[in-house]
Amino acid sequence: MKIITGDTIILHCSATTADPKIDVDTIRRWHVKGRGWSDIGYHFVILTDGRIQRGRPLNRNGAHTKGYNQNIGVCYVGGVSTDGKPKDTMTALQVDSFERLVKWLRLITGKRYHIKGHNDYTNLKACPSFKVDVKFKHLL
């Protein structure tokens, strides 16, 4: 399997409440119809119930972090409180799924992969609404 060249998995949030109706097709529509992109920007989306859905193929660069799209983009549904403010809404099932996804990607590619959040690349974004190096320090 040919995989993009980056050495990092960048975690994002959908910047919505933890709405179980949002899935990969919803986000794909936002990116394709709303932004005019060719496909969803993320390689994987983690639903509120922990299911992992595939987005953009792993052999294509993402469209998720300007200047760093050669890395794998993962988005969890949520990241915003009901009053619209950034909030870590990641469910225990989403946490477990993200950890399993990282381990699986490392296994199938043989790469170590660094783990970062979108907010590690810009001060203008709260996404994923927490510090990845704190929450997932055991994966670093």
Catalytic residue among 13, 116, 118, 121: 118
- Catalytic annotation present for 42: yes
100/85 Cα distance (integer angstroms): 28
- Catalytic annotation present for 121: no
Count of Cβ atoms closer than 10 Å to residue 58 Cβ: 18
122/133 Cα distance (integer angstroms): 15
Catalytic residue among 111, 114, 125, 135: 125
Catalytic residue among 13, 31, 42, 43: 42
Catalytic residue among 12, 31, 64, 87: 12
- Catalytic annotation present for 12: yes
71/54 Cα distance (integer angstroms): 15
CB 76 within 8 A of CB 136: no
Chain centroid to CA 87: how far? 15
Q: What is the DSSP letter of 70?
A: T
Radius of gyration of the CA atoms of the chain, in A: 14
Active site residues: 12, 42, 118, 125, 127
